Structure 1
Amino acid sequence: MDISNKKIYYSGVNALRLEWPADLSVRYGVLINFKEGEGNTNEVKYEVRVTRLRPGKTGEPLFQINRISDVFINEIPPDLIADKLAYALGKVFYPLVIAVDHNGGFQSIYNHDEILKRWQLVKKNVLDNFDGCLVENYVSRMEKQLSNLDQIQQAFLNDWLIQTFFKPLYKEYGQHRTAESVYKFPIAKDFHVEGYITEEKLSGQTNSFGAVELLHNGIIKPLEDELFIAHRHTGDYVGNYFLHPKNKRILSVVSDFSYRSQEESRVKIRITVIPEDGLEFDHDFELESNVKGLPVTEMVMIDGQSPRKGFWNRLLNK
């Protein structure tokens, strides 16, 4: 469906509420670009399927994440032994079920018991296909870490997909459609850095291709420490979230990060929906209500005219 010739204006309450139905599964492509100092750039690419599950035992929102493709590093599968080993062992985590808070922010790993059950088969496959003392030591360390849920959850604080996709986006943004939060991302690992002070700006109308747009602008916030020299740790963050106009699930994330200490690190991440076969990405954008004055989960469509463009053209050439 083409709604690129329509705009939707939010009514009274400036809020985002996630209405992703239980059991709805969405496929995403993930592209992450890393650059350290003046060194080479490395690119990681893979696909995942994200499914909204029914609430957990205590009512917590749950999502399942499953990798559905190989992981490509600079357009090829892992070729170094260490990379192959890490990739093979990492399969134990998927499908991964996580709990999020009611604003959509990552909280915890929910299916730790299932991960432990999968471990024996993954371990056997690795030992059957890799040889050497290094492999046995790696497997032994992995086994100890898996038994400790806190260590696993700490490890996923460094997972770019989870730490970008599952942020607390779903909340009220006030009269001026703005909010402010401090967000931590894997690029800033220094203990002296609290995160990025981030201004969050919710658009007042859908953009040119019919999506709700949320813009983040952040700068590094150092911890207060008398021995810490603030100017040595700087950086900025710009993130664009494009959301489905009806259920507010993520259609795409386009984010850039920088962090400067001894040298500069940069990360660019792109996460975008991959439509199911035969469907356009906006096939279900059509709204069921034209009633003004409803909460932000309902919207009014205003006709206009603009030529239809492809998804990436509409995304990157707003």
Structure 2
Amino acid sequence: MTLDFTNFKDRRYGVSVKYYSSNNEVPTKRIDYEVDVRVEAHENGWQIEIDKQNVFFNQHEPDLISEILSQSITKSIYPIKCVINNKGIPVKGIINHEDIIKRWKSNQAKLKEKYESETTDNFIKLVDVKINNRIILEKSMKYDLFWNLFFHPKFISYGNGASTETDLHLAVVPYKIPLRFRGIQILNEQVTTYNAVQVRFNSEEMEAPKALISSVKMNKQKYFMKLDVVFDLDATHYFPMHTTAKFDLYFEDNEQQIFSEKKIQFSMYQINVDAPVGKLNMVLDDEKPKDKRSKLMKFIDAIVGD
């Protein structure tokens, strides 16, 4: 299976990442944003451009200083360009590094003008090191959930049973090296009603590393983790349409009852008009929300819940 992007149309996705603690049904933290993706021919394969936009923290625009600083990084790094092969895997590093540096210089000047403090100065120094060094910047992209899942290898040898053992690396600990999840990946080439084929990844139950839990709690009982991911790929280009991922960190008591410590739910849905996911698109297109945020969040919440 190889990718062919002839007649490929630009894609737009709505992404929502929700973090839960214990058995709470309301997320303790939520990040929503949109992603635009463009693909065009390149001498080494295909050039892909990814642009992250309209980032909202806990359903509001950035207003805390930490959120504003984070937004400044996002606006500097994106759009980001790299080259992928016919399996959808990046084969060349960031190819628009100079553009990123220029954007960061402009954004950091605005930060210095508006927020004069030692904290801001220290922040800028740290980001300078990351953005000005292409190798460090490329490494830091692997600490992003979207990046991990979007570029996870889906076109691998599945054998006669259409399933295989493989690893999926996911950055469930912020700013830390992604954790390696061992599991089974299954390909279902039966085309769905929304013109997609499906790839599923189900990890083994694994003992959780200490980085995920406090040492005090870790000394009381063993914690385990599991990851389940569903990739919907369009049946024409085998390119990502929708991706849902659920990470669970939990423990069992003496009576073998399972208690959740934390969960992460990642949802990515294509929101182009010509890539329907049922009647939901038509309902949303008929609405006239006040802003892009409300339309995006209504779309995601209608599918995956609050």
- TM-score normalised according to structure 2 size: 0.74
| Structure 1 gap ranges (5+) | 1-15, 224-228, 284-307
| Structure 2 gap ranges (5+) | 209-218, 252-259, 282-298
Aligned residue among 157, 182, 185 for 1:200: 185
Q: Which has the larger radius of gyration?
A: 1
- TM-score normalised according to structure 1 size: 0.72
Change (3 A) 1:53 1:198: farther
Distance in 1 separating the partners of 2:168 and 2:52: 25
> What is the CA deviation profile of residues 137-158 of structure 1, one whole-angstrom value per residue up to 9, with x for unaligned ones?
2112211222222321222111
**How many residues are matched?**
265
State how 1:174-189 maps to structure 2 within 5 Å: 174-187=159-172
> How far 1:50 moved relative to its partner?
0.7
The alignment partner of 1:184 has SS state of: strand
State how 1:167-246 maps to structure 2 within 5 Å: 167-187=152-172, 195-219=180-204, 232=222, 234-246=224-236
**More helix as a share of residues:** 2
Residue 67 in structure 1 maps to residue 64 in structure 2: no
Runs of 4+ in 1 over 3 A off after TM superposition: 21-24, 36-40, 99-102, 105-108, 188-194, 220-223, 308-313
**Residue 108 (structure 2) aligns with:** 123
User: What percentage of aligned pairs have identical amino acids?
Assistant: 19
1:274 aligned partner, one-letter code: I
Change (3 A) 1:204 1:247: closer
Distance in 2 separating the partners of 1:98 and 1:120: 21
> How far 1:217 moved relative to its partner?
0.8
Residue 281 in structure 1 maps to residue 265 in structure 2: no
State how 1:1-318 maps to structure 2 within 5 Å: 16-21=1-6, 24-37=9-22, 41-55=28-42, 59-68=44-53, 70-106=54-90, 108-187=93-172, 195-219=180-204, 232=222, 234-259=224-249, 264-275=261-272, 279-282=273-276, 309-310=279-280
1:55 aligned partner, one-letter code: H
Conservation of the 8 A alpha-carbon contact between 2:171 and 2:177: no
> How far 1:233 moved relative to its partner?
5.3
Change (3 A) 1:191 1:130: closer
2:32 aligned partner, one-letter code: K
> How far 1:37 moved relative to its partner?
4.5
Give the CA RMSD over aligned residues.
3.4
1:91 aligned partner, one-letter code: K
> What is the CA deviation profile of residues 2-58 of structure 1, one whole-angstrom value per residue up to 9, with x for unaligned ones?
xxxxxxxxxxxxxx43223377311111111112446752111011101113225xx
Conservation of the 8 A alpha-carbon contact between 2:207 and 2:222: no
Conservation of the 8 A alpha-carbon contact between 2:13 and 2:35: yes
Conservation of the 8 A alpha-carbon contact between 1:274 and 1:281: yes
> How far 1:121 moved relative to its partner?
1.2
